[in-house]
């Protein structure tokens, strides 16, 4: 191989990252649309920088010409979850796509097998099929799945590792291991209040839904059915809304729904 034009070589990886991020964000959106808790809280993607790619190849004695074939995390996706319990659900979502677009070729469970540094995360390597410049390409991509707490720790530790060029002083290593333990405890504590949090999320979503419906019904009754006194309804709505009682909101919306039905503006 001659001189490698890295910027050009990395273009299909950029496309793969963009596509995978989009697809996983759509999965997240589907959960939201169904008004249920999404195991995916956040999705991020990046293509490894040329500097970090060359450094990794160099540290592993990988000839530069082979780097693109050997390194499996040039395309990298990170999925952040709220709870540890969400992680296997995300893994299953990806597994279910194995015959379609994300073929799993490797899994590494650094949550059960925590790294000596304290690092926790679930890694999946996939083969991703994409069309690039009218050709089918199959690229490897590393998906890291972790909780918000695991991500917080890994981000800080990664920056420090970079600062010390990989040679963290012994006392800092120990403090970071303690922080990893604290993050682990935080995840465990969050698990114990998961039920309450999920209930709170559900109430918020119901409230959002009802407010949208009420505003729509009031508008339709006023604009299309020309119902008088809609201002009184608006006032009543604000009072109920400020009260914060979801059941009362629901009753009020039922009343508006019945009116919308009568005036034939239910589906406007
Ligand atoms: P970057 O800059 O994040 O891309 P291996 O041969 O298995 O030891 P490999 O093949 O790189 O190494 O896989 P591994 O160990 O699963 O690590 C892949 C990525 O996981 C790393 O990529 C990091 O992103 C993350 N990771 C692994 N161990 C740690 C750790 O101790 N601390 C932090 N913060 N992240 C970790 P890169 O290329 O190292 O870095």
- Per-residue pLDDT of 37-47, as tens digits, reads 999 999 999 99
pLDDT of residue 124: 98
pLDDT for the residue numbered 205: 87
pLDDT 10s digits, 162-199: 899 889 999 999 999 999 999 999 999 999 999 888 88
Q: Where are the domains of the chain?
A: 6-192, 196-262
By annotation, the residues acting in catalysis are 142
Note the pLDDT of residue 229: 84
Residue to probe by mutation, ligand 1, list 44, 71, 73, most atoms within 8 Å of CB? 73
CATH topology of domain 6-192: Beta Polymerase; domain 2 (3.30.460)
Cβ contacts of 188-197, under 8 Å, gap ≥ 24? 188/84, 190/82, 190/83, 190/84, 190/147, 190/149, 191/83, 191/84, 191/85, 194/83, 194/85, 197/82
Residues 208-236 have pLDDT tens digits of: 999 999 999 999 999 988 888 888 999 99
Of 66, 55, 60, 77, give the one whose Cα is nearest residue 9. 66
Residue nearest to atom 22 of ligand 1 (CA): 73
Task: Name which residue sits closest to atom 2 of ligand 1, judged by CA.
Answer: 52
**What pLDDT shows up at residue 252?**
96
pLDDT for 1 equals: 58
């Amino acid at each position: 191989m001659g001189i490698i034009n890295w910027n050009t070589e990395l273009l299909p990886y950029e496309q793969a990252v963009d596509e995978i991020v989009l697809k996983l964000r759509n999965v997240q959106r589907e959960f939201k649309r169904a008004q249920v808790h999404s195991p995916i809280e956040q999705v991020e993607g990046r293509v490894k920088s040329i500097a970090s790619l060359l450094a990794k190849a160099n540290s592993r004695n990988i000839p530069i010409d082979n780097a693109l074939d050997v390194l499996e995390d040039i395309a990298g996706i990170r999925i952040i979850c709220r709870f540890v319990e969400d992680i296997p659900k995300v893994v299953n979502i990806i597994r279910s796509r194995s015959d379609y677009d994300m073929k799993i070729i490797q899994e590494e469970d650094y949550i059960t097998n925590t790294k000596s540094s304290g690092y926790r995360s679930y890694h999946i390597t996939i083969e991703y099929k994409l069309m690039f410049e009218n050709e089918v390409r199959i690229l490897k991509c590393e998906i890291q799945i972790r909780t918000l707490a695991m991500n917080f720790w890994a981000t800080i530790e990664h920056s420090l590792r970079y600062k010390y060029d990989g040679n963290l002083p012994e006392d800092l290593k120990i403090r970071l291991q303690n922080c990893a333990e604290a993050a682990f405890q935080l995840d465990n504590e969050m698990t114990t209040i998961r039920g309450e949090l999920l209930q709170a999320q559900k109430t918020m979503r119901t409230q959002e839904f009802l407010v949208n419906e009420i505003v729509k019904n009031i508008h339709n009754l006023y604009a299309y059915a020309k119902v008088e006194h809609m201002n009184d309804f608006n006032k009543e709505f604000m009072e109920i809304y400020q009260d914060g009682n979801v059941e009362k909101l629901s009753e009020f919306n039922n009343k508006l729904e019945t009116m919308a039905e009568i005036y034939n503006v239910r589906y406007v």
